[in-house]
Amino acid sequence: MSKEQTPTPHIRAKYGEIAKTVIMSGDPLRARLMADKYLEDAVQFNDVRAMEGYTGTYKGKRVSVMGHGMGIPSIAIYSYELFNFYDVEQIVRVGTCGSFSENVPLGTILLAQGACTDSNYASQYNLPGQFSPLADYGLLRKTSDTAESRGLDFLVGNILSSDFFYDAGGRQKDWAAFGVLGVEMESFALYMNAAAVGKKALSILTVTDNLATGESQDSDQRRKGLGNAIELALDLL
């Protein structure tokens, strides 16, 4: 770790101002919502590029919440700096996704056991093959157990982290034939960054779009409808 490299070009926090556990969301306003609704004594540690971040306590345990933006390049930058420069031990992404099946309706929680991708992000590591990045099993198992005990509608499995939101080629649904549950744009990079430095990561995703039925939630519904996923993440502390 290199605390001498803090603050970073993208995070203005000093070393020690960010907790060992960070809960991240694509929308920085969702990070503000988490801080306002769930954290006590929250202090803002970042506003660079309007990517808000806060540190406070939840049930007496220290935690940070922060936005990560849209897409693999964005979350890759923030998670890399958190893992490598701020000594963060685990990052939990609370985000949204689209499902590939009409049997996976809006509101279903997907726990991303692994992440496929159409991105070239992993090429930087020069591995002699294709690496399949996974969630931390301890985080995954605890979240699954908690979701089951609460009677939540959830699934555990593989997801696709795509570089394309608007899939001009119409090929994203082909992943469903291999058991991939849904699509988002970030988890692959998060899991790769965690694996590269021996840290922990998990994505807890709420289905807000269904590619099979065409159903979709609007941006306000997406921002407000993630309470169950946020609470699952906070219960990992």
Asked if residue 181 lies in contact with residue 99, where contact means CB atoms within 8 angstroms, the answer is yes
Q: Three-state DSSP class for 64?
A: strand
For residues 194 and 198, give the distance between their C-alpha atoms in angstroms, rounded to a whole number. Answer: 6
| Helix (H), strand (E), coil (C) string for 193-228 | HHHHHCCEEEEEEEEEEECCCCCECCHHHHHHCCHH
For residues 67 and 16, give the distance between their C-alpha atoms in angstroms, rounded to a whole number. Answer: 18
Catalytic-labelled residue, pool 27, 118, 167, 209: 209
Residue partners of 197: CB distance under 8 A and separation at least 6:
83, 84
Using CB atoms within 10 Å of the CB of residue 146, give its burial: 0 to 12 exposed, 13 to 18 middle, 19+ buried.
Answer: middle
List b or e across 178-190, with b for residues whose CB sees 16 or more CB atoms inside 10 angstroms.
eebbbbbbbbbbb
Is residue 209 annotated as a catalytic residue, yes or no? yes
Residue partners of 51: CB distance under 8 A and separation at least 6:
10, 11, 28, 66, 67, 68, 69, 78
Catalytic residues: 209
